[in-house]
Structure 1
Amino acid sequence: MSIEKSVAADEYHSKDFDWEDLRRDIESDPSFSFHLSPFLQSSSPSSDSQAWSHFHSRHSTGKFFKERRYLLKEFPDLLSCDDYSKVLEVGCGNGSTVLPILRAKEKTSVYACDCSVEALERAMQNIADADIENVIYRYHQFCCDFSVAQFPKWLACDLCRTKRVEKSLPYYTCIKYEVNESEGTLTSSPPNKDGRCCLGGVDFLTLIFTLSAVSPERMMTAVRECFSVLKPGGLLLFRDYGLYDMTMLRFEPEKRVGFRHYMRADGTLSYFFDLVCARDLFVGVGFIELELEYCCVKSVNRRKGKSMRRVWVHGKFQKPS
């Protein structure tokens, strides 16, 4: 679901300007007043997978995206993680986020999902073209819209999601519980010969320019689903569009479909977060906030000679141990 263009890694997560200064400039400019006014529509439209499928079909060459090489610099936990860690990338698009992880960590397994089959096909091709060692054994993708459906049970079964895991067994070994109603007893047995019925969850979950494509009324459900498949102590790494980003200010009034919520000409949606909104979403489902701040980057369009102020929200959240 990601549509953000990457820039040089050293420009990311910087403080080229103060967000409060930007806020004052925007809120004092009458030409931007329609962005700030209340929105009376009761519910915003849903951006379904079809719109994103059309988007990825139009950009089938993959040149619209660049590999997010800044990712490991902004989230160094991905570099310092234990061998054989498991990462889930939600809304993988054409693979621009998973590629730097696969390159840097030879023993890390990456699971990636997207609501668009076309995006997954492009991601698989890009990763195959990257010629990364043993990638066929470390990269696994599947189609899923996490805002309307659960992640598959093989990723984390119901027992793992509710922490009903036998402590004497390895973390990935979950127990199948069965109730004998006639005898009123609860028995347990391993579901397979090796005792495994699922992966037991993941160590990291990356949510990079994905949540903004989800309708606001479904965001809390989507974040709760992310929480459920993380192992205790696992990290969710978040980056998305921030309030008063240049992209938001370019939208015309008729493109506004909700509060801080806009629809592009192709039918895909984009929401713009402030820190309070992001905090409420993640802390509200049980995450612990470790990092949350605006990333303010000033970029220059040399051809037009214009300076542009970009705003993203950067966050790191942990599932309690």
Structure 2
Amino acid sequence: MDSEYLESTPDVDTAADPIIKQSKPPLDSRIGRDAPFVFGQRYLENEEDVFNHNAWDNVEWGEEQINQAREMIAKQYESPVKDYDKSLFNANPAKYWDIFYKQNKDNFFKDRKWLQIEFPLLYKVTAKDYQEPTTILEVGCGAGNTFYPILNQNGNKNLRLFGSDYSKVAVDLVRSNETFASQHEQGIAHCSVWDLANPEGLLPEGMEPNSADIVIMVFVFSALHPNQWKQAVENLAQILKPGGTILFRDYGRYDLAQVRFKKGRLLEDNFYVRGDGTRVYFFTEEELEQIFCENGPFVKEMIGTDRRLLVNRKKQLKMYRNWLQGVFKA
């Protein structure tokens, strides 16, 4: 399991896969660095200090870390998922998320308190002094760990917050929250079962075409098979208003969660199945730009990489995390 999931190619062309940029990002990059917050600014200046803290931000990767990750991934190709099992995992992915939420309910993921740091736009449109009609759709709402932090602090009486997930069990968990009923009666909170990549182009229940000001996708797109990306982007384009915004956060290439997969987990290049049957893909910045902008209708406002070095000081272990974050405009 990976950190968001509460844990948490053999020959990679470096030119085609530029995984690391060595310079520190500017403070306005919206990757944990928006003033007045200081989170995301603990830099490892001296390697001798590495075990003085539990985590470091924007850690530069050297050839040693990159080569080690590639070697571990190359071993995964020796024992990929068997073709028969691939068809099982890909045939009905919602089934495995239903099982997941039946077993874990709303106790597994933590509320995403970092939303205000990473996506300040959400808090601008939900502030008491912002009463403009605003529609937000969260795709892949799970048990509500983004949905309810937004809803609970909302001061905008003209907000409409939609949650969607292709797991019925997850949607039922959101709807069972004691806050949901009252907010739903006021026309603010809505939640329904919806498949982001549905081939019919159906929209979430209660939503009209071009009605969303903001779409949130946090660790959601990675659950799709690569052959679903195009349809998913088309569905998103149908939902967003002209000038609307997609707020995106997901797994980056060579993240700890990817390199530590063992045999029998590799479905396709950079695409895996976890032990519970749920799937996950690990992206590069270049892939995201291609998916959403070059092959899709959106304009890149920002794509950035959030790298963290987590440290187990007792065992003297170093664990590299790598997430991607993007803002796209319709």
Partner of 1:140: 190
Measure, in 2, the Cα distance between the counterparts of 1:51 and 1:278. 26
Measure, in 1, the Cα distance between the counterparts of 2:173 and 2:81. 39
Partner of 2:203: 151
Q: Does 1:317 align with 2:317?
A: no
Partner of 1:58: 103
Q: How many residues align?
A: 273
Residue identity (%):
27
Bigger Rg over Cα? 1
The farther-off stretch of 4-13 and 203-212 is 4-13
The farther-off stretch of 251-260 and 78-87 is 78-87
Pairing of 1:70-109 with structure 2 (within 5 A): 70-81=114-125, 82-83=130-131, 84-107=133-156, 108-109=159-160
Partner of 2:67: 27
The verdict on how the C-alpha distance between 1:153 and 1:125 changes in structure 2, with shifts beyond 3 A counting, is: closer
- CA-to-partner distance for each residue in 1:5-58, whole Å, 9 max, x for gaps? 499996569874557615652325674151696999999852521111011111
The farther-off stretch of 79-88 and 33-42 is 33-42
TM-score by length of 2: 0.73
Aligned partner of 1:118 among 137, 155, 169: 169
Measure, in 2, the Cα distance between the counterparts of 1:6 and 1:256. 18
Pairing of 1:218-233 with structure 2 (within 5 A): 218-233=228-243
The farther-off stretch of 88-97 and 222-231 is 222-231
TM-score by length of 1: 0.74
Contact in 2 for aligned 1:300/1:306 (Cα 8 Å):
yes
The verdict on how the C-alpha distance between 1:153 and 1:50 changes in structure 2, with shifts beyond 3 A counting, is: closer
Aligned partner of 1:280 among 281, 287, 290: 290
- CA-to-partner distance for each residue in 1:142-176, whole Å, 9 max, x for gaps? 1011112421474124xxxxxxxxxxxxxxxxxxx
Measure, in 2, the Cα distance between the counterparts of 1:291 and 1:80. 18
Aligned AA for 1:63? N
Displacement of 1:114 in angstroms is 0.5
- CA-to-partner distance for each residue in 1:178-219, whole Å, 9 max, x for gaps? xxxxxxxxxxxxxxxxxxxxxx51100001000100101101
Aligned AA for 2:198? V
Pairing of 1:103-252 with structure 2 (within 5 A): 103-107=152-156, 108-126=159-177, 128=178, 134=183, 136-137=185-186, 138-149=188-199, 150-152=202-204, 154-157=206-209, 200-252=210-262
Aligned partner of 2:305 among 288, 294, 299: 294
Unaligned runs of 5+ in 1: 158-199
CA RMSD of superposed structures (Å): 3.3
